[in-house]
Amino acid sequence: MNYQFPEIRHLDDVLPHIEGRDEFIVAEREGYSVVNYVVAMADTFDMTGPDDLGGAVRRECRGLKFAPSGEIAARPFVKFFNVGEKEETQPHLVNLSQPHVIMEKLDGSMIHPMLVDGYIRWMTKMGITEVAMQAEEFIAKNTRYKDFAAWCISEKLTPIFEWCSPFNQIVLPYEEDTLTLLAVRHNITGEYLPISS
């Protein structure tokens, strides 16, 4: 379904759209809050049409991060679906004549940075986790990631990476640690910026 990403400036822009829906949580962490879904019900991410603001906001609730003030601080990937998974992603509805990017499917964990108490911290959908700490250790030795993250944060952007590591095996085994940039999103508009390889 083609629709415009909702503008999200504050936690209050999200809460009315997940109220009474037990599949979503607002997790209070030290120095930030996380809005995430914990289970996907049949209608969790449904939209009645391109103007369904509630459905569009719920699709954003997969690791949204907010500062203590309630202002949005990081916006990772919108909920996406496999071809054929939903009515709107049936093969005959996927328009491949539109510009698109094809990327290799990596088998790791989504990682993104956020400013917490004046420091850049790296997070998974649920925030600072054991997996995120693995990535932080890697980044401490590879400062170009920190420099790029600092620039993105200053521009209200969230760079989204895939963390693959022998110590974070999902299915495929990896022989070395890698952090691969997948996308960059604007925190407020949700727009994906073009990136080149």
- pLDDT tens digit sequence for 49-73: 999 999 999 999 999 999 999 999 9
- Domain assignments of the chain as residue spans, ordered by start: 11-77, 109-186
Beta strands in 105-146 (DSSP E): 109-116, 119-123
**Mean of the per-residue pLDDT values for the chain?**
92
Range of weakest confidence among 93-102, 115-124, 133-142: 93-102
pTM of this structure: 0.91
Q: Cα(26)–Cα(145) distance, rounded to whole angstroms?
A: 28
